[in-house]
């Protein structure tokens, strides 16, 4: 379902100029889910970002990255129902204050307190109360370096992915087992309740909704896959559509629910139906600038690449490729306002806790000593200059 730009722009609270301090952003991996073996992940703590957040923000500022994505860890804040303990969050707010860092706060990055049942009606009201409390605390303690660049929020990160990995694949909590659609609806209900509650605290708050961007092709020799691949590709829009009231309006979606459309995009986000990946250069690959244009045409809201990156030697080239595609999209009139390197710091892998060398911030074994990766920092500075200078068509 598509609707005209003129009808939607009035519903979005975004207005020029851009509210982001830097075009190139840095995203800290802040997943807190329980994986298949019931281990609670807390990547913020595992890589030392909880105790070194001020140093991490300063390092990014050296590379010109002044806007970040970071997370509020609900399972630590509200270990007991209705009792909020903010010691895990306050140092991060103070670090942002000290370094002039603008933060896009994830209120829920796949993890909930152990006492929360995601499939119960209570989940909606529980998240609603937590979202209001978190926003109230952040606004109380945050001192903006420049009011023109406010903090922004994401209610629940990647609802589509969580519904698949936790509702269908049983790889994450809540281990749903063919309950992906039900989980997605629950996450949308909770997001909507949280957004309304947050805006009751401060009506001017801006929200972004990150979701994976995919493209699935049919192999030339299997024409029977054309329709299923198109349906599967279209399913990527369900969570955003529900949030905005375009699908299943009974969930309570409304046009003002999100101000920016977030696209999470990696080299493996395109593939052949029941077949291999189709990375850039493959004849069935759909260029990233066209995926960005698809989002603008569908939703008429500014777009952010809320996650993208690659490991080790591939990182510099991947950033250059994505930035080139972003400039192409902007030349077509697509208001892409940011590009977030994610994860922006080395982190321990979810399943095997291996040291993933993906970051602009390199972290030594032991997760204490950190430094900027020189070649990637140079590329970030170059692309920030090029992207900031690119005018919309």
Q: What is the C-alpha to C-alpha distance for residues 172 and 165, in angstroms, rounded to an integer? A: 6
Predicted confidence (pLDDT) per residue in 307-356, tens digit: 999 999 999 999 999 999 999 999 999 999 999 999 999 999 988 889 99
Answer for the pair 272, 314: CB distance below 8 angstroms, yes or no. no
Predicted confidence (pLDDT) per residue in 208-230, tens digit: 999 999 999 998 778 888 999 99
pLDDT at 14: 41
Antiparallel, parallel or unpaired: β 336-341 and 303-308: parallel
- Which domains can be identified in the chain, with CATH numbers? 5-388 (3.20.20.80)
Q: Which of 98, 88, 91, 100 is nearest to 42 (CA)?
A: 88
3-state secondary structure at position 237: helix
pLDDT at 265: 98
**% of the chain beyond a pLDDT of 90:** 90
Question: At residue 146, does pLDDT exceed 70?
Answer: yes
- Residue 383 to residues 7, 24, 46, 164, 183, Cα–Cα distance (Å): 34, 8, 30, 34, 38
Q: Which of 390, 391, 385, 361 is nearest to 24 (CA)?
A: 385
Question: At residue 255, does pLDDT exceed 70?
Answer: yes
Predicted confidence (pLDDT) per residue in 156-189, tens digit: 999 999 999 999 998 999 998 889 999 999 999 9
- Residue 240 to residues 21, 129, 184, 246, 249, Cα–Cα distance (Å): 25, 22, 11, 8, 12
Average pLDDT over residues 9-23: 67
pLDDT at 389: 77
CB atoms within 10 A of CB 297: 12
Q: What is the C-alpha to C-alpha distance for residues 175 and 171, in angstroms, rounded to an integer? A: 6
User: Which long-range CB contacts under 8 A does 85-92 form with residues at least 24 apart?
Assistant: 86/137, 88/50, 89/134, 89/137, 89/138, 90/141, 91/50, 91/51, 91/53, 91/54, 92/50, 92/53
Q: Which of 283, 379, 261, 386 is nearest to 330 (CA)?
A: 386
Answer for the pair 252, 190: CB distance below 8 angstroms, yes or no. no
Q: What is the value of pTM for the model shown?
A: 0.94
Q: What is the C-alpha to C-alpha distance for residues 197 and 129, in angstroms, rounded to an integer? A: 7
Question: At residue 238, does pLDDT exceed 50?
Answer: yes
CB atoms within 10 A of CB 121: 10
Question: At residue 1, does pLDDT exceed 50?
Answer: no
Q: Which of 239, 118, 124 is nearest to 173 (CA)?
A: 118
Predicted confidence (pLDDT) per residue in 97-131, tens digit: 999 999 999 999 999 999 999 999 999 999 999 99
Predicted confidence (pLDDT) per residue in 281-299, tens digit: 999 999 999 999 999 999 9
Predicted confidence (pLDDT) per residue in 37-77, tens digit: 999 999 999 999 999 999 999 999 999 999 999 999 999 99
* Residue pointed to by tokens 């063919």: 178
Antiparallel, parallel or unpaired: β 347-348 and 355-356: antiparallel
Question: At residue 15, does pLDDT exceed 70?
Answer: no
Q: What is the C-alpha to C-alpha distance for residues 136 and 299, in angstroms, rounded to an integer? A: 29
């Amino acid at each position: 379902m598509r609707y005209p730009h003129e009808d939607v722009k009035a519903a979005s609270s975004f207005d020029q100029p851009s509210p982001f301090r830097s075009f190139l952003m840095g995203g800290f991996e802040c997943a807190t889910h329980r994986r298949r073996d019931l281990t609670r992940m807390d990547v913020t703590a595992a890589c030392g970002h909880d105790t070194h957040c001020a140093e991490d923000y300063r390092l990014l500022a050296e590379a010109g990255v002044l806007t970040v994505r970071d997370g509020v860890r609900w399972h630590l804040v509200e270990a007991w129902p209705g009792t909020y303990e903010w010691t895990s969050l306050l140092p991060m707010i103070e670090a942002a204050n000290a370094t002039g860092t603008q933060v896009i706060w994830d209120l829920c990055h796949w993890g909930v307190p152990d006492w929360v049942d995601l499939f119960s009606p209570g989940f909606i009201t529980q998240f609603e109360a937590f979202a209001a409390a978190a926003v109230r605390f952040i606004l109380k303690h945050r001192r903006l370096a420049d009011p023109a660049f406010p903090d922004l929020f994401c209610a629940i990160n990647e609802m589509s992915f969580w519904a698949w990995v936790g509702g269908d694949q049983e790889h994450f909590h809540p281990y749903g087992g063919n309950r992906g659609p039900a989980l997605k609806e629950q996450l949308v209900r909770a997001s909507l309740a949280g957004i309304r509650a947050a805006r009751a605290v401060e009506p001017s708050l801006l929200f972004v909704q990150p979701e994976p961007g995919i493209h699935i092709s049919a192999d030339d020799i299997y024409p029977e896959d054309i329709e299923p691949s198109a349906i599967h590709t279209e399913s990527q829009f369900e969570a955003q559509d529900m949030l905005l009231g375009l699908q299943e309006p009974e969930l309570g979606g409304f046009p003002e629910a999100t101000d920016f459309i977030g696209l999470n995009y990696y080299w493996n986000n395109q593939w052949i139906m029941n077949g291999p990946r189709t990375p850039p250069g493959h004849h069935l690959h759909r260029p990233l600038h066209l995926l960005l244009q698809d989002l603008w045409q569908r939703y008429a809201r500014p777009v952010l690449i809320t996650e993208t990156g690659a490991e080790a030697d591939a990182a510099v080239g991947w950033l250059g490729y994505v930035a080139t595609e972003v400039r192409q999209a902007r030349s077509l009139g697509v208001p892409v306002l940011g590009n977030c390197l994610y994860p922006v710091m080395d982190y321990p892998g979810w399943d095997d806790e291996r040291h993933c060398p993906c970051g602009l911030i390199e972290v030594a074994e032991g997760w204490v000593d950190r430094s900027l990766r020189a070649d990637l920092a140079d590329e970030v500075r170059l692309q920030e200059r090029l992207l900031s200078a690119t005018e919309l068509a």
